[in-house]
Chain A
Amino acid sequence: MDQLLNDFSPGLFFMQAIILLILIVLMRKFAWKPILESLQSREDGIKDALESAEKARLEMQNLQADNKKLLNEAKAERDTLLKEARQMKDKMIEEAKGEAEVQANKMIEQAQAAIESEKKAAMAELKGQVSGLALEIAEKVVRKELSSKDKQLELVESMLTEKSLN
């Protein structure tokens, strides 16, 4: 302890105090203050950047979710559209089919009616011709048969018998 006290130099203490004081003042002004401020601002900058990155990430996520939603909606719409189109197509085919059937039936009917009427006209004509022919033939036959008196009588006779027999 005695040795320590003997070694203690008040002059050195004084010099050290002055040097340290000046050094603290100088270092504060020229080094620590700008360094710490720069560090602080840099750290704040990093923090801000991180925060904004996180924000951007969230926004991106939201955007992606929105996109997905939109995509899903679009898909659903497309599906309904397709479904409707298919239905419409089916309906149209169905309707066209029905109409065609009706049309065909009508045409068939008309054709049948035309055929019937043509047939009737043809029959009528045929009948007229046949009856004319028959009358002509009958006239000729009657004329020939009834050219003699005897034959006329015979005919009457036969007819009468036929009648009476009935």
Chain B
Amino acid sequence: MVAKKSVKFIAVLVLFLTSVSSFAKDPVQNDNHHGAGEQIDSPEEIKEYIAHHLKDSHDFHLYTNNKTGTHVSFPLPVIVWTSEGLRIFMSSEFHHDDSGSVIVEKDGVKLTKIHSKIYELESGATQVNFDDEHHATNASRVLDFSITKSVFGMLLAGLLMLLGFGALAKGYKKGAIPTGFGRVLEPLVIYVRDEIARPNIGEKKYRKFMGFLLTVFFFIWILNLLGLTPLGFNVTGQIAVTVCLAVFTMIIYLFSGSKDFWQHTLWMPGVPVVLRPILAVIELVGFVLIKPFSLLVRLFANMTAGHFVVMSLIALMITMKEAFGPVASTGMSLVLALFISVIEILVAFLQAFIFTMLSSLFIGMAVEEHDHH
């Protein structure tokens, strides 16, 4: 029932997405400096558009009216740590510019935005100079703590989680059986507990890690699903986000490792003494680098690829228009995008599941106590 509903929901979303994207325009293409009115229709432009949307952005861009050249978006706060200290202002001051041509001056610090990254100009410089590879030569990146679109997405997901599961938790005060939306959430919590945490970590120790595992599972899942909406969040496709999640898992399993775990990792019993240091290096590299890396890359690559494929299929409508005509290309794009979107719903869950599953597996490895033979 729920699955059916969400399929319908996504079908509506995809329709909405396709209709919006046919009018939407790349802000870069459409800002004051580049002139207005051109539609994105060449493959290069589409590629750039997709690449741009896979990235984090400093404002929440909804769509652009190509007739008037106005952007429908709302700005998000920019919080940066510059050489002169903290600077806070709204992203609307960049006027949707993403090429480094708009320079915002804040208390003696000149800031500009190039490809969704904020740069600080060297003192004395009035405009950004680029080298042949389009790297800024007289500007350096600043520490950017802005409430970007991704941060906004994370806050939204966190709020949704607090509201949903807070309501579920409160519901238990009224009776042992949840009502309303809690009925959907409860089986999911039980699923994470009984299918992910318990079998991998073990009956005795799983409770301690439930807070992390449940939070991460629902956090990733909700963000993955938000990414499928036309709002176009790509939070779990930001490498910094997946790195952070993986680092959390790593810290947890390294700090909760049992004596047995460290003994087996650093000085493997039952192996010739000569081999032990080599094994220790391999094991350590495995636990500190390879395992977190596999976690972060899997999530990042899957989500980014998913977004890329969905957007490319929607773009088929434009790229295939010449070859097949508007009706056929739109139909093809619609069917394919719908198909991939349905798969992406599955992937959204699957990636959250795999991340949580592997996290609990690694934690399980670390807390396991071996029988001494």
Contact = CB atoms under 8 A, between A and B. Distances in A.
A95 to B, nearest CB: 77
B74 interface: no
Interface stretch (B1-9, B238-246, B363-371): B238-246
A16 interface: yes
Given A11-B144, A11-B146, A42-B176, A26 B162 contact: yes
Contacts, number: 122
A34 B243 contact: no
Contacts of A42: 176-177
Contact of B165 (A16, A17, A27): A27
A35 B189 contact: yes
A23 B161 contact: yes
B151 A24 contact: no
B151 A28 contact: no
B143 A11 contact: yes
Interface centre among B146, B170, B177, B243 (most CB of A within 10 A): B243
B240 to A, nearest CB: 4
A14 B145 contact: yes
B168 A31 contact: yes
Main secondary structure of the interface of B (DSSP, over half): helix
B72 interface: no
Interface string A28-46: 1011111110110110010
Nearest to B213: A32
Interface stretch (A2-10, A75-83, A107-115, A156-164): A2-10
Interface string B229-240: 000000000111
Given A12-B56, A19-B154, A35-B189, A24 B238 contact: no
A20 interface: yes
B166 interface: yes
Interface residues of A, number: 32
Contacts of B207: 36
A28 B190 CA distance: 15
B296 to A, nearest CB: 10
Nearest to B185: A35
Contacts of B162: 23, 26-27, 30-31
B243 A32 contact: no
A85 interface: no
B169 A15 contact: no
A11 B193 CA distance: 33
B165 A4 contact: no
B262 interface: no
B214 A32 contact: yes
B69 interface: no
B85 interface: no
Closest 3 CB pairs of A and B: A31-B165, A11-B144, A38-B172
Interface of A: 4, 7-17, 19-20, 22-24, 26-28, 30-36, 38-39, 41-42, 45
Interface of B: 55-56, 80-81, 117, 143-148, 150-151, 154-155, 158, 161-162, 165-166, 168-170, 172, 176-177, 186, 189-190, 193, 207, 210-212, 214-216, 219, 238-241, 243-245, 247-248
19 contacts: A11-B143, A11-B145, A14-B143, A17-B244, A17-B248, A20-B216, A23-B215, A23-B219, A27-B161, A27-B165, A27-B211, A32-B210, A32-B214, A35-B189, A36-B189, A36-B207, A38-B176, A39-B193, A42-B176
